[in-house]
Structure 1
Amino acid sequence: MDPIELERINVVLDHDVELREKIKEQVNELDKKMRTIVGILNKIHSTRPEAMPALLDSVKPVLNSCQAVTSALVLIIPKNQFWRWKDMWSNSIRTAAFAAVLIEYLSNRTLLSLEKVSDTLGVRSEWSDRLSLPVEDYLHALITVVNELSRLAVNAVTLGNFEEPLKISAFVKDLFTGFSMLNLKNDTLRRRFDGLKYDIKKIEEVVYDVSLRNLTNISVEK
Structure 2
Amino acid sequence: MDPQDLENINALLDRDVELREKIKDQVADLDKKTRTMVGMLNKVHSTRKESIPALVDSVRPVLLSCRETTSALVKLIPENQFWRWKELWSNSLRTAVFAAALMEYLSTRTLITLPQVSELLGIKDEWKDRLLLPVEDYLHGLVSLVNELSRLAVNSVTLGNFEEPIRISIFVKDLFTGFSMLNLKNDLLRRRFDSLKYDIKKIEEVVYDVSLRKLAPPPQSRMT
Place the TM-score, normalised by the shorter chain, in its bin.
Answer: over 0.9
What is the aligned partner in structure 1 of residue 172 from structure 2? 172
Cα-to-partner distance string for 1:149-194 (whole Å, 9 max, x where unaligned): 0000000001111000000000000000000000000000000000
TM-score, normalised via structure 2 length: 0.97
What is the aligned partner in structure 1 of residue 143 from structure 2? 143
Displacement after TM superposition at 1:220 (Å) = 1.1
Displacement after TM superposition at 1:221 (Å) = 3.3
Q: Give structure 1 regions of 4+ aligned residues with deviation exceeding 4 angstroms.
A: none
Alpha carbon RMSD of aligned pairs, Å? 0.8
What is the aligned partner in structure 2 of residue 97 from structure 1? 97
Gaps of 5+ in 1: none
Q: Distance in 2 between matches of 1:36 and 1:191?
A: 27
Which amino acid in structure 1 is aligned with residue 219 of structure 2?
V
TM-score, normalised via structure 1 length: 0.98
Q: Distance in 1 between matches of 2:220 and 2:48?
A: 25
Q: Distance in 2 between matches of 1:36 and 1:167?
A: 27
SS in structure 2 at match of 1:160? coil
Q: Distance in 1 between matches of 2:35 and 2:172?
A: 25
Identical amino acids, percent of aligned pairs: 73
Q: Distance in 2 between matches of 1:214 and 1:124?
A: 49
SS in structure 1 at match of 2:75? helix
Cα-to-partner distance string for 1:190-218 (whole Å, 9 max, x where unaligned): 0000000000000000000000000013x
Displacement after TM superposition at 1:142 (Å) = 0.4
Q: Distance in 2 between matches of 1:28 and 1:5?
A: 35
What is the aligned partner in structure 2 of residue 22 from structure 1? 22
What is the aligned partner in structure 2 of residue 205 from structure 1? 205
Which amino acid in structure 2 is aligned with residue 220 of structure 1?
P
Q: Distance in 2 between matches of 1:20 and 1:154?
A: 43
- Mapping of residues 128-139 of structure 1, within 5 Å: 128-139=128-139
Report the count of equivalent residues.
221
Q: Distance in 1 between matches of 2:32 and 2:192?
A: 26
SS in structure 1 at match of 2:130? coil
Displacement after TM superposition at 1:76 (Å) = 0.4
Q: Distance in 2 between matches of 1:35 and 1:182?
A: 29
